[in-house]
Amino acid sequence: MTDKTSASQSNKKLKLYVGVAALIAFATYIQMAVWANFPEVTGPPIPYNHLSSEKTEPYLISEKSPNLSVDRRAAKNWPDVRSCLVRSERQKDKPDLRKFNWGKMRKDADIRVCLFRISASLGTPEKTKQWLESVGLTSSLYIRTDGSDAGKIVVTGSKRLMGYNDITKWSHTYVPSTGISGWITGFIGQAEVFSVRWDKDGKIIQTGHYINTF
CA distances from 144 to 39, 59, 192 (A): 30, 22, 22
pLDDT at residue 29, rounded to an integer? 47
| DSSP per-residue codes, 79-107 | -BGGGGB-HHHHT-SS--TT-B-GGG--S
- Of 175, 165, 162, 164, the residue nearest 208 (C-alpha): 175
Main-chain dihedrals φ then ψ at residue 94, nearest 5 degrees: -130, 80
Per-residue pLDDT tens listing for the chain (214 residues): 555 556 566 666 666 676 665 665 554 544 444 444 567 787 889 999 999 999 999 999 998 999 999 999 999 999 999 999 999 999 999 999 999 999 888 889 999 999 999 999 999 999 999 999 999 899 999 998 888 788 899 999 998 876 544 444 445 778 876 665 666 666 667 788 999 999 988 899 999 998 887 6
Strands laid side by side in the 138-143 sheet = 138-143, 153-160, 191-198, 204-212
37-85 residue pLDDT tens = 567 787 889 999 999 999 999 999 998 999 999 999 999 999 999 999 9
3-state percent breakdown (helix, strand, coil) of the chain, nearest 5: 45, 20, 35
Q: What angle do CA 65, 70, 74 make, to 5 degrees?
A: 75
Cα–Cα distance measured from residue 202 to residue 185, given in angstroms and rounded to the nearest whole number: 34
